[in-house]
Amino acid sequence: MARYRGPRLRVVRRLGELPGLTRKSARKAYPPGQHGQARKKKTEYAVRLEEKQKLRFNYGISEKQLLRYVKKARRAGGSTGLVLLQLLEMRLDNTIFRLGFAPTIPSARQLVNHGHITVNGRVVSIASYQCRVGDVISVRDRDASKKLVQTNLEFPGLANVPSHLEVDKDKMVAKVNGIIEREWVALSINELLVVEYYSRKA
């Protein structure tokens, strides 16, 4: 299944707040569709599926990519759920979003794809690039790039920059100082349910 490009608020109404997907809030508090207001008791499978979908839509990845991340997290050892979240959070598009260079993850992906971002002095146009400790991320030294990011910095998607990142907003340069800690993950999610969902599939 390809990356979702449909109405974002429809997803927010179904799954709850997704800070990476959109900054808008839904006016209606119930899921979309004809039976949205009819409150049904969710099965265990439905609860796990919903948590998995939150991850997919928030980070803007396909089902195939998410499955690949789950397998990678399993091989890494330690808590699979935590490692999975760290892998997703350390993607370049998400890091750009967390630095405030873009208001949402889709717009951060666009910044990266259009060649506005450099990592360690080299232009990186792959949104799924895994940021490592010590990486220096900066906005390309072009007027168009700097102007674009300057506008975004005035209205960042999230107010606080996580502790594993340090940023100089005037120079538009940031450094990755470590791996993100669980409490800094902005998405409200139970990652263990996601691991349980995939335990039958992978």
Taking the C-alpha atoms of residue 137 and residue 66, their distance in angstroms, rounded to an integer, is 25
State whether 126 and 50 are in the same domain.
no
Position 78 in a domain: yes
CATH of the domain at 173: 3.10.290.10
CA 158 to chain centroid? 12
Q: Is there a single domain that holds both residue 171 and residue 117?
A: yes
Residue 108 backbone dihedrals phi, psi, to 5 degrees: -65, -40
Q: If pLDDT is split at 50, 70 and 90, which confidence band does 155 have? A: confident
Same domain, 99 and 78: no
CA distance linking residue 48 with residue 190, whole number of Å: 9
CB distance 111 to 149 below 8 Å: yes
Same domain, 163 and 191: no
For residue 41, give the CATH number of its domain: 1.10.1050.10
Backbone angles phi, psi at 116, to 5 degrees: -90, -10
Evaluate whether residue 44 is within a structural domain: yes
Same domain? 107 vs 65: no
Residue 105 shares a structural domain with residue 63: no
* Shared-domain flag, residues 98 and 173: yes
Q: Where does the pLDDT of residue 166 fall: very low under 50, low under 70, confident under 90, or very high at 90 and above?
A: very high
What is the per-residue pLDDT for 39?
A: 65
Residue 3 falls within a domain, yes or no? no
Q: pTM, whole model, 2 decimals?
A: 0.84
- Asked if 110 and 157 sit in the same domain, the reply is yes
**In sequence order, what DSSP letters do the residues of 94-122 get, joined into one string?**
HHHHHHTSSSSHHHHHHHHHTT-EEETTE
Q: Is 154 exposed, middle or buried (0-12, 13-18, 19+ CB in 10 A)?
A: exposed
Shared domain for 131 and 104, answered yes or no, is yes
What mean pLDDT comes out for the span 153-175? 84
* Tally of domains within the chain: 2
How far apart are alpha carbons 10 and 91 in whole angstroms? 25
When pLDDT is cut at 50, 70 and 90, the band that residue 23 belongs to is: low
Q: Across all residues in the chain, what is the average pLDDT?
A: 84
Range of the domain at 45: 8-87+187-199
Residues 50, 67 within the same domain = yes
pLDDT confidence tier of residue 1, bands split at 50, 70 and 90: very low
The answer to whether residue 1 sits within a structural domain is no
For 27-49, the pLDDT digits (tens) are 666 566 555 556 677 788 888 98
Residue 25 has pLDDT above 50, yes or no: yes
In terms of domains, do 101 and 44 share one?
Answer: no
Judge whether 38 lies within some domain. yes
Burial 133-149 (b: 16+ CB within 10 A, else e): eebebbbbeeeebeebb
